[in-house]
């Protein structure tokens, strides 16, 4: 961990084979501009499409998109096994964040898979339901119930959040949801309440240096989750 006064150079990748990778890049830059961190930070953002792009990364975002299309590309190119090995390499701490389709790819168990299953990267001890909230027409936006103390400190106490007082919203587009937490190592970061479910639905989780959200933070004006991701890298 760097001294609070030391400048830090970070290299962050965004998987850029399909989905909202450009929006994530813009949100990362906005978070760096709008938030105060304990260190001065210089960030290089890399579009990841092949194994060489993973070199020296401190963090990686797996964006939303079409999970089946993404998994087909990953499997056919061999990048799925490369990502698994890269994520499991303990010689250097790396933070990985999956959003929407990225959550599906990072789940160890997937309910409602298409016939024959789909390639996944895994890493999170959870069972996830694809398209839990319905089709594209059922997309919605809702205020999140933040459950984790570290997220509350990072997000709810931020200057940007206090200035808006509107809560942190999640945009759900053909979104998955976490059906079950399958290990005590997994922390619930956020839930959301919807009329069709008696209990709050789990929509954000973390396990060690992995995190995932069922919603699209890159599609809102809030960049609190991207700031939290950067802080998680700094603390890794």
Binding positions for L-glutamine: 65-67, 130, 173-174
How many helices (DSSP H) and strands (DSSP E) are in the chain?
7, 13
Q: Alpha-carbon distance 236 to 175, whole Å?
A: 28
Binding-site positions: 65-67, 130, 173-174
**Catalytically annotated residue among 169, 218, 224, 226:** 218
Residue 218 falls in the annotated catalytic set: yes
Active site residue 165: no
* Dihedral, CA of residue 9, residue 89, residue 150 and residue 222, to nearest 10: 60
- Contact yes or no for 12/59 (Cβ under 8 A): yes
The verdict on whether 75 is a catalytic residue reads no
Q: What is the DSSP string of 203-234?
A: EEEEETTEEEESS-GGGSS--HHHHHHHHHHH
Helix (H) or strand (E) holding 15: strand 8-15
Q: To 10 degrees, what angle do helices 224-235 and 21-34 make? A: 80
Marked catalytic residue, from 35, 216, 224, 226? 216
The secondary structure of the chain in percent helix, strand, coil, rounded to multiples of 5, reads 35, 30, 40
- Residue 220: partners with Cβ closer than 8 Å, 6 or more residues away: 141, 169, 170, 171
Show the 3-state SS of 78-118: CHHHHHHHHHHCCCCCCEEEEECHHHHHHEEEEECCCCCCC
Choose, from 35, 100, 224, 226, the residue flagged as catalytic: 100
Q: Would you name the residues annotated as active-site residues?
A: 100, 216, 218
């Amino acid at each position: 961990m760097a001294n609070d006064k030391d400048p830090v150079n970070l290299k962050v990748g965004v998987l850029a084979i399909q989905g909202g990778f450009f929006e994530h890049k813009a949100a990362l830059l906005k978070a760096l501009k709008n938030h105060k961190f304990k260190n001065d930070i210089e960030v290089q953002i890399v579009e990841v499409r092949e194994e060489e792009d993973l070199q020296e990364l401190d963090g990686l975002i797996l964006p939303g998109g079409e999970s089946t299309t993404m998994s087909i590309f990953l499997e056919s190119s061999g990048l799925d096994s490369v990502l698994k090995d890269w994520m499991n390499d303990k010689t250097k701490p790396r933070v990985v964040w999956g959003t929407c389709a990225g959550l599906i790819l990072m789940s160890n168990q997937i309910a409602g898979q298409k016939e024959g299953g789909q390639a996944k990267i895994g890493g999170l001890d959870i069972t996830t339901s694809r398209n839990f909230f319905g089709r594209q027409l059922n997309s919605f936006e809702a205020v999140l119930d933040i459950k984790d103390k570290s997220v509350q400190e990072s997000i709810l106490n931020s200057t940007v959040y206090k200035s808006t007082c509107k809560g942190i919203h999640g945009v759900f587009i053909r979104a998955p949801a976490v059906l079950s937490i399958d290990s005590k190592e997994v922390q619930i970061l956020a839930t959301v309440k919807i009329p069709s479910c008696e209990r709050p639905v789990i929509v954000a989780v973390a396990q060690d240096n992995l995190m995932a959200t069922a919603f699209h933070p890159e599609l809102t004006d809030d960049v609190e989750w991207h700031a939290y991701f950067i802080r998680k890298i700094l603390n890794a």
